[in-house]
């Protein structure tokens, strides 16, 4: 009996895949995507203008890659997350404070950040989604001096 059920299930599966419905079925039951990869380069830019995080994610992983060749001393990139209203002040403060890698680790306005990377490097930061609010506007940016105007994006959390 059990064998028969398995055979029938396999047949249904084959039919679904055969008609392309298998793909639709897989997407419908897939877990939320809890990871994003942002690609940056030597032209002071990156390819991800917005990030949407599902509250169903416990953690959300941000991966930043730098496909350029320049050293971080002249073309450094990092990924810094603040509330939207804090971004400008934080971006300005890192310049005047002359900090290592242009980040003040003690700044309470900084929700998360990655280390500064050079061309050819990659870095990752994990966000605790429970600490992010639905409806709050967040901004992420590169805190290397004068990069935040070109390298920024909006992050939001949805149900
Ligand atoms: Co940068």
CA of 142 to the centre of ligand 1 (A): 5
Contact 155, 81 (CB under 8 A): yes
Q: Chain-wide mean pLDDT for the chain?
A: 87
CA of 143 to the centre of ligand 1 (A): 6
**pLDDT tens column, 25-37:** 555 556 789 999 9
**pLDDT tens column, 93-142:** 877 666 778 998 889 999 999 999 999 999 999 999 999 999 999 999 99
User: What's phi and psi for 127, nearest 5 deg?
Assistant: -100, 140
The CA distance from 122 to 66, in Å, is 6
Give the position of tokens 């496909």.
67
Of 155, 157, 158, nearest to 139 by C-alpha is 155
- Higher-confidence residue of 8 and 50: namely 50
Q: What residues have a C-beta under 5 A from ligand 1, the ion?
A: 77, 142, 144, 147
CA of 83 to the centre of ligand 1 (A): 19
- Higher-confidence residue of 3 and 33: namely 33
Q: What is the structure's pLDDT at 48?
A: 97
């Amino acid at each position: 009996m059990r064998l028969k059920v398995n055979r029938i299930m396999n047949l249904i599966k084959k039919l679904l895949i055969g008609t392309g419905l298998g793909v639709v079925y897989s997407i419908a039951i897939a877990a939320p995507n809890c990871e994003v990869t942002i690609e940056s380069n030597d032209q002071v830019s990156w390819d991800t203008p917005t990030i949407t995080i599902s509250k169903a994610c416990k953690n959300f992983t941000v991966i930043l890659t730098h496909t350029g060749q320049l050293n971080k001393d002249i073309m450094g990139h990092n990924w810094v997350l603040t509330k939207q209203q804090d971004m400008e002040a934080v971006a300005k403060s890192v310049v005047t404070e002359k900090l290592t890698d242009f980040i003040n680790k003690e700044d309470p306005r900084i929700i998360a950040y990655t280390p500064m990377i050079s061309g050819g490097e990659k870095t990752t930061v994990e966000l605790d989604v429970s600490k992010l609010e639905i409806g709050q506007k967040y901004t992420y940016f590169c805190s290397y001096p004068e990069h935040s105007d070109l390298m920024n994006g909006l992050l939001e959390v949805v149900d």
